[in-house]
Amino acid sequence: MNKRINADYRTFFKVSILLFAYSIIVLVICIFSRQFSEMYCRTFSAGMRNILSAITGIFNFSVAEMLLFVLPIGFVVFEIYLTVRKRFSFKKMFVTLLTAVFIAFFLFVNTFGVCYFRKPVEENMGFDIKEFSDSELMDSALFIKQRLENFLDGTVFLEDGSSKNPYNWSELNSKLIKGFDRLKKDYPFISYISSPAKKIYMSPVMTYTHISGIFMPFTAEANVNTNYPEYVVAFSTAHEMAHQRGVAGEDEANFIAFLACLSSGDSYLSYSALLSMYDYYLDEAYKTDKEMYIELLSVTDKRVLGEMYAYSVFFDKYRDSAASRVADVVNDSYIKTMGDKVGVESYGRVVELCTSYLIEKEALPY
């Protein structure tokens, strides 16, 4: 029996080495060839994400979150069991850990890692990133503001100024999946996924990290922090779904999420996307031209300002947490490691994408 177990250990380890070597080769080719990376993202990588998300989508909870707690405990229990049975071996423990690392690397590279090296979103969508003037930035911000105002009367606002999402979790997912499916018809580089996003059970604790969602490549799940205000939850769900569909860059995921919400044809999703985008424009104006920022605020509808104030009040509790500083460093390092030199600042770069799109197309598609 022991001989068979040892043979299984060796076989599993050898397979994991082959998967690791294959992933290294694929990753190197993708780094040097956008064309190959784009093809791989649309085929093998998309297939893996589809299969994994279909499997984990069977469960109505986040498998990734569960594994985060279960795997370390399970590993310790297993090693204790081997020790009690006098079968514990540091060599076996090392091989087990190394096997897990190799398999995790295979899953990361082939589901999502290669997507960082594919063609930029603007190239796949048929427009160019442009240099734009302050007046063009202002015009684009005002355009987003005007579109946002079209959805204010259809939005329910609570006494504290925050908006009310009229849908339950299942309905929200269905409407977003519909939006992505419609968007995919126009832009085939977006992968097809039918699985819903997952609520994070530890959302209240996670909020201290300032993370509103996370795509987990190992389970192909779009995980969402549902403790945030409801318009943020709606847009964050779309953002993580964009990652799930092979859009790796944070600015690109923001832009695709923005378009997916609009393409859903739903009033509240359009409101959440336009408000989120307008907020990015306000941040950009504050950084580059304080007078533009003040002017934009002066013409902003009171209901929008009320939503922003309600968000600020909500966030006060979490604003200066130590966890957020650690998470920011980790996230910044991860993004830079994957080839984006600006790190977490890439989230706000969505303004460049949106403004360039508006200048070239002269309107939003939905």
| SS3 labels along 81-109 | HHHHCCCCCHHHHHHHHHHHHHHHHHHHH
- Measure the CA–CA gap between 219 and 51, rounded to whole angstroms: 10
The predicted-structure confidence for 303-359, as pLDDT tens digits, reads as follows 999 999 999 999 999 998 887 787 777 667 767 766 666 554 545 589 999 999 999
The predicted-structure confidence for 169-212, as pLDDT tens digits, reads as follows 999 999 999 999 999 999 999 999 999 999 999 999 999 999 99
Give yes or no for residue 79 having a pLDDT over 70.
no
SS3 19: helix
Give yes or no for residue 33 having a pLDDT over 70.
yes
pLDDT for the residue 39: 98
pLDDT for the residue 89: 62
Compute how many other C-beta atoms are within 10 angstroms of the C-beta atom of residue 61. Answer: 13
pLDDT for the residue 120: 96
Provide the residue type at 32 as one letter. Answer: F
pLDDT for the residue 325: 80
- Measure the CA–CA gap between 319 and 124, rounded to whole angstroms: 37
Computed over every residue of the chain, the mean pLDDT equals 90
pLDDT for the residue 364: 82
pLDDT for the residue 324: 75
Q: Whole-prediction pTM value? A: 0.92
Mean per-residue pLDDT for 241-262? 97
Identify whether the C-beta of residue 63 lies closer than 8 Å to the C-beta of residue 221.
yes
pLDDT for the residue 108: 97
Mean per-residue pLDDT for 104-119? 96
pLDDT for the residue 96: 79
Give yes or no for residue 1 having a pLDDT over 80.
no
Give yes or no for residue 119 having a pLDDT over 90.
yes
131-135, 152-156, 171-175: least confident range? 131-135
pLDDT for the residue 86: 60
Identify whether the C-beta of residue 244 lies closer than 8 Å to the C-beta of residue 222.
yes
pLDDT for the residue 312: 95
pLDDT for the residue 233: 98
Identify whether the C-beta of residue 139 lies closer than 8 Å to the C-beta of residue 299.
no
Mean per-residue pLDDT for 21-41? 97
- Measure the CA–CA gap between 318 and 227, rounded to whole angstroms: 11
% of the chain exceeding 90 in pLDDT: 74
Mean per-residue pLDDT for 275-287? 95
Identify whether the C-beta of residue 257 lies closer than 8 Å to the C-beta of residue 269.
no
Mean per-residue pLDDT for 264-278? 97
The domains of the chain are located at 2-117, 121-361
